Amino acid sequence: MTSAESMQAPVCLVENSNGELIVNQEALQILTSITKPVVVVAIVGLYRTGKSYLMNRLAGKNKGFSLGSTVQSHTKGIWMWCVPHPRRSDHTLVLLDTEGLEDPEKGDSKNDSWIFALAILLSSTFVYNSMNTINHQALEQIYVTELTDLIKVKSSPKLVGEDSADFVGFFPDFVWTLKLDGHPITSDQYLENALKLREGKHPRIQRANLPRECIRKFFPKRKCFTFDRPTNDKLLLAHLEDVHDSQLEPIFKEQANEFCSYIFSNTKPKTLSGGIIISGNRLGMLLQTYVKTISSGDIPCLENAVLTLAEIENSAAVQRATDHYLKQMVLKVDFPTDTLQDLLNLHADCEKEAISIFMKYSFKDDTHKFQEKLVQDLETKKNDFIHQNEKESTKYCQTKLDYFSQTLMEAISQGTFSVPGGYKHYREEREKILNNYDQLPKKGVKAHEVLQKFLQSLAMTEESILQTDQALTDQQKALEVEQVKREAAEKEKVLLEQQQKEMEQKMEAQQRTYEENIKQLETKMEEEREQIMKEQEKMLEHKLKEQKQLMEEGFNEKAEQMNKEMDDLRKRMSESQKSSLLSSILGGVGAVLMAILPGAGKLIGLKLMSIGKSLK
């Protein structure tokens, strides 16, 4: 299978077959294999306007995307070319070339609308390519006025004034490219002048203003590039893919280089609202969701698409974190560990790394069910390691005791100790076994328990040897019996103390698990809150700029209407700043974690209360 890094030519990503959009599975596999963040540049425009040539320039090639001819447009659907980003080694550049809009061969303008909408949804920079001047006709040929009918931001019913602000958080940067045949203009100012609203309340004027308003509202970051003819030779113009750079007009080459340099330097990775960085894998999943929704006759919803993506990605994040935990534990744990605490310390280190990985790759886990799943999985894996540690310790200790006691057991079977003075001889042999066992390293957590069971297994034999030893008086025998009982009681006490200590250590480990989850969740939520605040500040800044522009143009009534939108946005910003919501969320998560980690008990409850109070 072709990989993203080895693509020598574009492939069709979305096929436009008989008016139906279909995701090409081969192209999808290439896209979803990309784990790096993707910088996505999509180009849209009328058919036969030279879109594909610009995309080939971005790919650093003369040939690739089909340029077509002066008679027929070649690009059907959306074509994709993934190449290494020329200035960011840790990113992949994904170029999307779309079929020409308003191609008379198609006869279905609705299909053009969906191609336009998909290009908006998938890209981080959206390039609109046209010919000649930005006039009323050129503006009407852009499908921006239909965007609110083609795309929903939220699954809930629309609120007045909500869409334009929310779209800004999802929409790409906007670049308009023009073939102007040498007209001397300043490109950026030309675009802004073309987007100025016309005065008057006539319906015709209102219709003319609508696309201008949409572009101004939806795309706060705008850039314009103008291009002269690549060459004045009509024969060369018809076959630009075969034309050497030396045959192109110097001014056109300069313009093309400026365009490419701007795209490479200024286009950001594809990012969703909330600062969610999109990799090729994530982009592929979003594409499937969008096309499936369009094919079903419904309208793509950004919120639903992100939630669908989050379900898949968060599940994968849990698996990635769990796999990392297992891999690190297998590398670090040398069974059996001397103490349970040694094992729990290693667990805590690996668990911290696993939680960090989950926090890095998860997003929109608003109900925290995936974090809870991770806690459950790691708790199960931890217990598996504890059981394995105990099993290895038991096996090792039992094997060594069997070896040390082999001579003793043979002597017992042969009746060696059933003679006068036999009990003293037996105790001497028994003491040798205990000394050898005591000096044995790395016995592990079951050392006391295995020894205790071994001594208990000898108890009846030991008493029999004592009672048959004719060299001992009854008083001496009674004293020996008491001595044996004291020794057994002391060893039992040591064993119980160890078990109590291990129980406390397990409870403390669960408390550390709780605290680490809350700590990292609090950090992540604070980062997300700050990101949301930045996005809302960006929206407010855009609205203030738009309001100022409207007032300068004399549209005071429209400027006044924006106050309500800005007041609503300020209210949302104020709510985002409040920490009481963070406290209640952490409290809810804490309650669930307490159910998963019952051993932490009251200590966790007290910790939860203190965190909640500190945030209010």
Q: What is the mean pLDDT of residues 43-71?
A: 75
Is the residue at 527 inside a domain? Answer: yes
Beta bridge partners, 93, equal: 39, 83
Q: What is the mean pLDDT of residues 358-367?
A: 92
Same domain, 169 and 103: yes
Q: Give the residue, 603 or 520, on which the prediction is more confident.
A: 520
Same domain, 471 and 546: no
Is the residue at 280 inside a domain? Answer: no
Is the residue at 284 inside a domain? Answer: no
The predicted pLDDT at position 200 comes to: 84
Q: Give the residue, 467 or 454, on which the prediction is more confident.
A: 454
Q: Give the residue, 32 or 467, on which the prediction is more confident.
A: 32
Same domain, 557 and 467: no
CATH of the domain at 134: 3.40.50.300
The predicted pLDDT at position 17 comes to: 78
Is the residue at 514 inside a domain? Answer: no
Same domain, 484 and 560: no
pLDDT tier, 7 (very low <50, low <70, confident <90, very high otherwise): confident
Q: Which residues contact 602 (CB under 8 A, 6 or more apart)?
A: none
Q: Which of 251, 274, 297 is the last residue of a domain?
A: 274
Task: Please name which of 614, 613, 612 lies closest in space to residue 586, comparing C-alpha atoms.
Answer: 612
The predicted pLDDT at position 552 comes to: 87
Same domain, 433 and 498: yes
The predicted pLDDT at position 150 comes to: 87
The predicted pLDDT at position 351 comes to: 98
The predicted pLDDT at position 103 comes to: 59
Same domain, 427 and 481: yes
Provide the 3-class DSSP secondary structure of residue 48: coil
Which span out of 17-31, 61-75, 203-217, 350-364 was modeled with the highest average pLDDT? 350-364
Q: Residue 470 pLDDT > 90, yes or no? A: no
The predicted pLDDT at position 289 comes to: 94
Same domain, 57 and 189: yes
Spatial separation of the C-alpha atoms in residues 147 and 120, rounded to whole Å: 9
Contact status, residue 390 vs residue 446, Cβ threshold 8 Å: yes
Average model confidence (pLDDT) across the chain: 85
pLDDT tier, 193 (very low <50, low <70, confident <90, very high otherwise): confident
Q: How many domains does the chain have?
A: 3
Token pair recorded at residue 322: 């769990």
Q: Which of 274, 305, 340 is the last residue of a domain?
A: 274
Spatial separation of the C-alpha atoms in residues 138 and 128, rounded to whole Å: 11
Q: Residue 128 pLDDT > 50, yes or no? A: yes
The model's pLDDT over 367-420, given as tens digits with 9 standing for 90+, comes to 899 999 999 999 999 999 999 999 999 999 999 999 999 999 999 999 899 888
Same domain, 85 and 230: yes
**Residue labelled with tokens 């099993």:** 391
**Residue labelled with tokens 């060299």:** 471
% of the chain surpassing 90 pLDDT = 44
Q: Give the residue, 144 or 376, on which the prediction is more confident.
A: 376
Lowest-pLDDT range, 64-73, 136-145, 307-316? Answer: 64-73
The predicted pLDDT at position 100 comes to: 75
Q: H or E element: which one contains 80?
A: strand 78-84
pLDDT tier, 475 (very low <50, low <70, confident <90, very high otherwise): confident
The model's pLDDT over 61-120, given as tens digits with 9 standing for 90+, comes to 878 887 543 333 445 789 999 999 999 999 999 999 988 776 555 545 577 888 889 999
Task: Please name which of 52, 31, 35 lies closest in space to residue 94, comparing C-alpha atoms.
Answer: 31
Parallel/antiparallel/unpaired status of strands 173-179 and 222-227: parallel
Same domain, 187 and 243: yes
Q: What is the mean pLDDT of residues 244-270?
A: 90
Domain span at 450 = 398-502
Contact status, residue 125 vs residue 173, Cβ threshold 8 Å: yes
Token pair recorded at residue 165: 């602000």
Task: Tell me how far CA of residue 344 lies from CA of 210, 305, 394, 567, in angstroms.
Answer: 64, 40, 18, 52
Q: What is the mean pLDDT of residues 232-259?
A: 82
The predicted pLDDT at position 70 comes to: 36
Sign of torsion, CA 484 485 490 494? positive
Q: Where are the alpha helices (DSSP H) in 49-186?
A: 51-58, 109-122, 136-140, 147-150, 163-170
Q: Residue 252 pLDDT > 60, yes or no? A: yes
Q: Which of 220, 245, 274 is the last residue of a domain?
A: 274
Same domain, 412 and 536: no
Q: Residue 612 pLDDT > 60, yes or no? A: no
Lowest-pLDDT range, 210-219, 420-429, 590-599? Answer: 590-599
Is the residue at 33 inside a domain? Answer: yes
Q: What is the mean pLDDT of residues 313-325?
A: 97
The predicted pLDDT at position 184 comes to: 53
Is the residue at 585 inside a domain? Answer: yes
Q: Which residues contact 186 (CB under 8 A, 6 or more apart)?
A: none
Q: What is the mean pLDDT of residues 120-125?
A: 95
Same domain, 26 and 160: yes
**Residue labelled with tokens 């610009």:** 54
Q: Give the residue, 13 or 584, on which the prediction is more confident.
A: 13
Backbone φ, ψ for residue 124 (5° rounding): -100, -25
Q: Residue 614 pLDDT > 60, yes or no? A: no
The model's pLDDT over 410-464, given as tens digits with 9 standing for 90+, comes to 999 998 998 888 889 999 999 999 999 999 999 999 999 999 999 999 999 988 8
Same domain, 531 and 489: no
The predicted pLDDT at position 71 comes to: 33
The model's pLDDT over 553-562, given as tens digits with 9 standing for 90+, comes to 888 888 888 8
Is the residue at 281 inside a domain? Answer: no
Is the residue at 35 inside a domain? Answer: yes
